[in-house]
Amino acid sequence: EPSKEYVFKYKGFYFGVITTPEHVASLEDFEINDSDIFIATYPKSGTVWTQNILALIMSEGHRNGTENMEMMDRIPWLEYSVKSTDFATLPSPRIFATHLPYYLVPRDMRNKRGRIIYVTRNPKDVMVSYYHFSKFMNTLEKIPDFNLFMERFLSGKVLASSWMDHVAGWYSHAEDFNILFLTYEEMKKDLRSAVLKICNFLGKKLSEEEVDSVVRQATFENMRKDPRANYENLPEEVAEKNKGRFLRKGTVGDWKNIMTVAQNERFDKVLEERMKTLPIKFVWD
């Protein structure tokens, strides 16, 4: 079981202790505007990347001075707050990031208010990214043994619970929401097309040059240099900066560098069993 020092369970879902059951419960009634935009993900699936892309698209390549804002102020977390943001005072369109499962989001979202961009990533890469992430985040339980971490991940005993439940939940309830699905892998393969998909979904018209500029600024190499994209200003009690960073490697297939053949087989077995009931098929490599 995950340590209570780091997570609490609310309606079957593990939250980090940087939020409270009261705050999570209050989100049910959170009023949503049609112009609101949400980036929904299971952790380590490309959240920060999508946050940057959206900031670039919506503020026309940062020409409004948003480049000087911390990511947390520009695109706050719905359920977590390292500092408290008054959502009501955010300029429109408001943009939020969230790891919530489909069944815990504000009621208005289910009435198709606002727009949601849901990003998925190969769960093996998600797991490996998560494993490295927990080494330097003081808000996450440290599980240095990779095999043990994998068992925790597969049984959903980590912050944000089961990857499979998260993805299966959102995909099988797609019709209840105003939602665009993207994958980390398609963004890696053709970032320009992904940016255009997002623009199209948001009804945002950018010139060719503006699209080029978004794509150029949102590459791994460029974002890695940006202290804000890396959340370098998080307090030391949250992240130990010398032990890792948000933009770690940014590749597809890093799982192959750490998972053994046996671990891979075990992972596939659990995944296949669970994915049988899903209305979609993922192809990752």
Active site residues: 99
Pick 227 or 269: Cβ nearer ligand PPS: 227
CA atoms within 13 A on the CB side of 105: 30
Taking CB under 6 A as the rule, which mask of x and - marks residues 228-247 in contact with ligand PPS?
-------------------x
Residue with tokens 């105003």: 178
Closest CA to 116 of 71, 66, 173: 173
Pick 197 or 248: Cβ nearer ligand PPS: 248
The CA-atom distances, in angstroms, between 70 and each of 27, 121, 228, 234 are 23, 25, 6, 10
The least CB distance from residue 111 to ligand PPS, in Å, is 27
Which of 43, 93, 156, 169 is close enough to bind ligand PPS by CB under 6 A?
43
Contacts of 194 (CB under 8 A, 6+ apart): 53, 182, 186, 187
The least CB distance from residue 31 to ligand PPS, in Å, is 25
Could you tell me how many residues of this chain bind ligand PPS (CB under 6 A)?
20
Q: Restricting to residues 139-198, name those near ligand PPS by CB under 6 A.
A: none
The least CB distance from residue 44 to ligand PPS, in Å, is 4
Closest CA to 257 of 124, 158, 133: 124
User: Interacting stretch for ligand PPS, rule CB under 6 A, among 84-92, 146-154, 197-205, 215-223?
Assistant: 215-223
User: Interacting stretch for ligand PPS, rule CB under 6 A, among 104-112, 166-174, 193-201, 216-224?
Assistant: 216-224
Cα separation of 284 and 112, whole Å?
Answer: 29
Which of 45, 66, 98, 183 is close enough to bind ligand PPS by CB under 6 A?
45
223 binds ligand PPS (CB under 6 A): yes
Alpha helices in the chain (DSSP H): 21-26, 47-58, 71-74, 107-110, 123-136, 146-154, 163-172, 184-189, 191-202, 208-217, 220-224, 261-275
101 binds ligand PPS (CB under 6 A): no
Pick 108 or 226: Cβ nearer ligand PPS: 226
User: Interacting stretch for ligand PPS, rule CB under 6 A, among 27-35, 43-51, 88-96, 235-243?
Assistant: 43-51
Contact 159, 7 (CB under 8 A): yes
CA atoms within 13 A on the CB side of 30: 22
Binding site for ligand PPS (CB under 6 A): 41, 43-49, 125, 129, 132, 218-220, 223, 247-250, 254
